[in-house]
Structure 1
Amino acid sequence: GDALIFAVPDEAELHGWVQVIHRATGQSHKPVPPVRVSSSKCHFRKDERVRAHHLGLNQLASVKPHEVDHLPLLRELVARMLDFRLKDPFVSLGWLSPAQKLIFDEYCNRYGVRTCQRHLIFLQELIRCGEEDITVDMDLLYQSYVICADHVHGKAQGNAEINTVLSAEIEDFQAVRARLLAFLEKRLTGFRYYFPFNRPEAALENLLILMERVINQSNDDTAGAEAVHSVVRICLRNAAVLNYERISDFARKEAKKNQDPDDVGLPTPEKRLV
């Protein structure tokens, strides 16, 4: 299981955090804080204080939150969480653990990261992992993409009547959309190798649903059906060529491996025809 370690100034806040983690993770066993609570005054040795000063930790801890661009820091946080989580890719498929989800939500809420921005960053890191041939759940990509697409196209989230779209969000969304479409086309072209026997379950169907949404821009757009069919047709044609090339390469290697050295000087049927 995951172990979450954090520091609090007093015991009252410690119990509050335990309650929050218990509700957020939904586990049946309630976490128990340590019996002996250490003092809030930290005593550092001289070498540790000097090391922290050289690393810039003092400046980082004392900086005002509103003076920091939190998007690069959030991107680094998401990248590290996914790299750790995807060490076992067939179990996680890109889904964060409850503890990671709590940290992700807490960071975004505390530092005012917009919903569209957080999902754009999450999408970018998921695509990065997918481009490294790591298995990623298509349904997870679909959920984040739909949230970003609805926001950029002016559809208010929840009960909000006013939806403000930033120009930076539109630019980032268009870049992510193009990158996501290229990633989906690559996965569909190599579907025999990325989704053997339709594993993970329903992954290929979810890929086609996501590709249709990305090409059509929104669910209301039915005029792009022919465009979707054209892209799928091209991908399947390329998949057939890729499959033929791999089978031919495998057959050539097997022929060289099974060639008898004693028959090298004998005339072969190919030589007789020549």
Structure 2
Amino acid sequence: MTKTNDFQVSQYCFATCNYRERKSKPTETMPLEGYTIDYAEPDNGLIMHDGKYFLKAVREGDVVTFATNEENERHSWVQALYRATGQSHKPTPITQINKLNSSQDKKIFQGWLSPIQSYVLEEYCSRYGVRGCLRHLYYLNDLLDRAEQEFMIDPQLLHYSYGFCTSHVSGNRPDNNVSTITMEKRDRFIEIKERLKQFLENQVTNFRFSFPFGRPEAALKATLSLLECVLSKDISIPISRDDIRNFIRKCLENAAYSNYTRVSDQAKVEAELCIELLQQDSEHYQEAFKQYNDLLIEHEEIFWSLFAVNMEHVIDQQPIENTLSNSRFHQQLRDTFAPLVIRYIDLIEHVLHNQFIKQGPVSRST
């Protein structure tokens, strides 16, 4: 007898069920509570069973993959289960741009200790006289080791440990108590601070790949907050707005070159791919860069300037004609870039309008 898989949906719960042929009761049931539904890459095991299009359910490292024979059928199941589970992540069909993002998938390791681990660590430090500053220095070092192995570390945890260390090193403890540190600890702190700065710079420069589709939620925003703290000379002397803006501007300039290089390496450069990439920037990262919105716009302009260079090369390769006016190539260029030009003009008008509102009308004396 053969087995068939089906999705059973009720008012109260969702489950995947395994049925035997002509039987109304399932032989196996897997509740979908807590799972996140998304599109999936091809699975070799299911391909052998004639699977063509794939979706997956993920929960705490547990991944279950399903297959359908028709793409529309897969899309219908994904959308139905997405609405039913109420998950925050919206499933996105895998495209060339999405593959670029998924190629940078990171191992999940948030870094927070469990209550039992925290208790054991506190007892150990208390018994053997390990000071809090030294403990957090070692912890930061281990977390950065993990991060360099492409584990995803919660930036708020890094912020907490770094804040603890910098308050002790600078002598500005929150409890106003006097603390002393050795020169060895101070040198170790300076070394870790520089290492953390380089790590955060890399995270911001590669924000599309460090935080694919803006996930984990609010992680990029927390990373920018930590970067601002690390760039400060002292916990009591925050970095100036101009300095932090210049630093982030440099990161976003490098990001434009990096993003365009990866797109051009992975696929033939097309306007549609560039548009899709920038649309994802707007959808998933604009909130995190809210206070640096003008720098994000500069990042997009640099990206388009790189595309223009390639486009000029394409034009140079075209056969020489007396005129391009109304030719097929000219028509294609116009159809491709007219929406972009209109969008750019609208964007500039919006920026100028906002600046005018902030500055107010200028009175002219006669």
Task: Please state which band the TM-score falls in when normalised by the shorter chain.
Answer: 0.5 to 0.7
Q: Which residue of 2 aligns with 1:153?
A: 170
Question: CA distance change for structure 1 residues 94 and 109 in 2, over 3 Å: closer, same or farther?
Answer: same
Q: Which residue of 1 aligns with 2:128?
A: 111
Whole-Å separation in 1 of the counterparts to 2:180 and 2:148: 32
Q: Which residue of 2 aligns with 1:218?
A: 234
* Residue 153 of structure 2 corresponds to residue 136 of structure 1: yes
* Residue 271 of structure 2 corresponds to residue 241 of structure 1: no
Question: CA distance change for structure 1 residues 199 and 272 in 2, over 3 Å: closer, same or farther?
Answer: closer
Percent identical residues: 39
Report the 3-state secondary structure (helix = DSSP H, G, I; strand = E; otherwise coil) of the residue aligned with 2:189: helix
Report the 3-state secondary structure (helix = DSSP H, G, I; strand = E; otherwise coil) of the residue aligned with 1:113: coil
Question: CA distance change for structure 1 residues 270 and 232 in 2, over 3 Å: closer, same or farther?
Answer: closer
Amino acid at match of 2:161: S
Amino acid at match of 1:114: R
Which residue of 224, 246, 253 corresponds with 1:208? 224
Whole-Å separation in 2 of the counterparts to 1:224 and 1:156: 22
* Residue 212 of structure 2 corresponds to residue 196 of structure 1: yes
Whole-Å separation in 2 of the counterparts to 1:272 and 1:205: 45
Report the 3-state secondary structure (helix = DSSP H, G, I; strand = E; otherwise coil) of the residue aligned with 2:192: helix
Return the structure number with greater strand share: 2
**What is the TM-score normalised by the length of structure 1?**
0.57
Contact map agreement 2:170 2:235 (CA 8 A) in 1: no
Whole-Å separation in 2 of the counterparts to 1:272 and 1:216: 53
CA deviation digits over 1:80-138, x for unaligned, max 9? xxxxxxxx953x51111222212221211111011100000000111111111110000
Whole-Å separation in 1 of the counterparts to 2:210 and 2:217: 12
**Structure 1 unaligned blocks of 5 or more:** 1-87, 255-268
Alignment size in residue pairs: 171
Q: Which residue of 1 aligns with 2:142?
A: 125
Whole-Å separation in 2 of the counterparts to 1:240 and 1:271: 26
Question: Counterparts in 2 of 1:57-68, with a 5 A limit?
Answer: none
**What is the TM-score normalised by the length of structure 2?**
0.43
Q: Which has the higher contact order (CA 8 A, sep 6+)?
A: 1
Which residue of 230, 237, 244 corresponds with 2:246? 230
Whole-Å separation in 2 of the counterparts to 1:222 and 1:99: 36
**Structure 2 unaligned blocks of 5 or more:** 1-105, 271-314, 321-366
Whole-Å separation in 2 of the counterparts to 1:271 and 1:202: 45
Q: Which residue of 2 aligns with 1:176?
A: 192
Amino acid at match of 2:211: F
Q: Tell me the CA shift for residue 197 of structure 1.
A: 2.5
Contact map agreement 1:119 1:145 (CA 8 A) in 2: yes
